[in-house]
Amino acid sequence: MTTGSSDLLDLVPARRGHFAYESGHHGDLWLDLDTLFVRPRRLQPHVAELASQLARHGLDAVCGPLVGGAFVAQAVAAQLDVAFCYSSLLRGSYRVPTALGSALAGRRVAVVDDVINAGSAVLGTAAAVREAGGHLSVFGALLVLGAPVDAGVPVEHLAALPNALWTIADCPLCRAGTPSTGRPPEPAAPAAATLSPPALVPRVLRAALAQSAERFTRNE
């Protein structure tokens, strides 16, 4: 692991326990991914490194799943000076907004997330990209947990960690009677922590987030 990868992992607090992920799988690792975006300048070098890996794929656009994946995808798209769009989970399926689909049609697209675990978000977004007429060229992520997702395209990433991932039927923690906590309770925010000014959040993402009834779980 490079020094840069080690620095990236320092930005993501981890917890151990028994967790149920959005994909339906169970695992024993939870990453507090929201903290990645508290200090954008600290994340920027890692975004630039990921963008440099993706650049060799000759991309025309980058698409990421809301919420964290879309933030990373837009930063990568800005670095590469290519088109950006996002996907959102609606009634069990990821969709690209109709108004943004034209940015994908006939173009080489990277699907980018902050972290890939079971891969439900990137696979769902890839299906949405193809439905919009885009050509999936590569997956990208800051961090991959466990084995990289297999979708017939390369997976570019900065760091990887081993991770146990089970179906409910095979979960040893369920068999042992260990309660599943789902998403852990939100920790109290440190007194010194300050979020970036709202003006720095792209308007299209702010509008999408305002329409969400709840935050999406990103340990996918």
The residue-averaged pLDDT of 151-180 equals 85
pLDDT in tens, 68-126: 899 999 999 999 999 999 999 888 889 999 888 888 999 999 999 998 887 889 999 99
If you average pLDDT over each of 11-15, 43-47, 200-204, which comes out highest? 43-47
Whether residue 147 is predicted with pLDDT greater than 80 in this model: the reply is no
Where does 21-133 show beta strands of DSSP type E? 26-31, 61-65, 83-90, 93-95, 108-116
pLDDT of residue 79: 96
Residue 128 lies in a domain: yes
The whole-angstrom separation of Cα 134 and Cα 217 is 26
Domain extent at residue 81: 3-182+195-210
What is the DSSP code (8-state) at residue 121?
H
CB 68 within 8 A of CB 114: yes
pLDDT of 186 > 60? The answer is no
Distance CA 118, CA 50 (A): 20
136: which strand partners?
Answer: 109
**Number of domains, the chain:** 1
pLDDT of residue 20: 83
Which CATH number covers residue 178? 3.40.50.2020
Which residues have a Cβ under 8 Å from the Cβ of 70 and sit 6 or more positions away?
64, 86, 87, 205, 208
**What's the confidence (pLDDT) of residue 183?**
58
Could you report the per-residue pLDDT of 17-58, keeping only the tens digit for each? 888 877 778 877 777 777 778 888 888 999 999 999 999 999
* 169 domain-assigned: yes
**Burial class (CB within 10 angstroms; exposed 0-12, middle 13-18, buried 19+) of 109:** buried
Determine the Cα–Cα distance for residues 101 and 131; give it in Å rounded to an integer.
9
Is 189 inside any structural domain?
no
pLDDT confidence of residue 212: 45
**Residue 119 resides in a domain:** yes
The token duo for 63 is 């698409």
Question: Over the chain, what is the mean pLDDT?
Answer: 80
Measured distance CA(49)–CA(79) in Å, rounded: 10
Q: What percent of the chain has pLDDT over 90?
A: 38
In a domain, 16, yes or no: yes
Q: Is 142 part of any domain?
A: yes
Distance CA 101, CA 86 (A): 10
Residue of 134, 139, 165, 162 lying closest to 152 (CA atoms)? 139
* pLDDT bucket at 195, cuts 50 / 70 / 90: very low
pLDDT at position 5 is 58
Does some domain include residue 220?
Answer: no
219 belongs to a structural domain = no
DSSP bridge pairs for 87: 65
pLDDT of residue 85: 94
With b meaning 16 or more CB within 10 Å and e meaning fewer, what string describes 75-95?
bbbebbebbbbbbbbeeeebb
Query: 19 and 220 in contact (C-beta within 8 Å)?
Result: no
Distance CA 188, CA 185 (A): 9
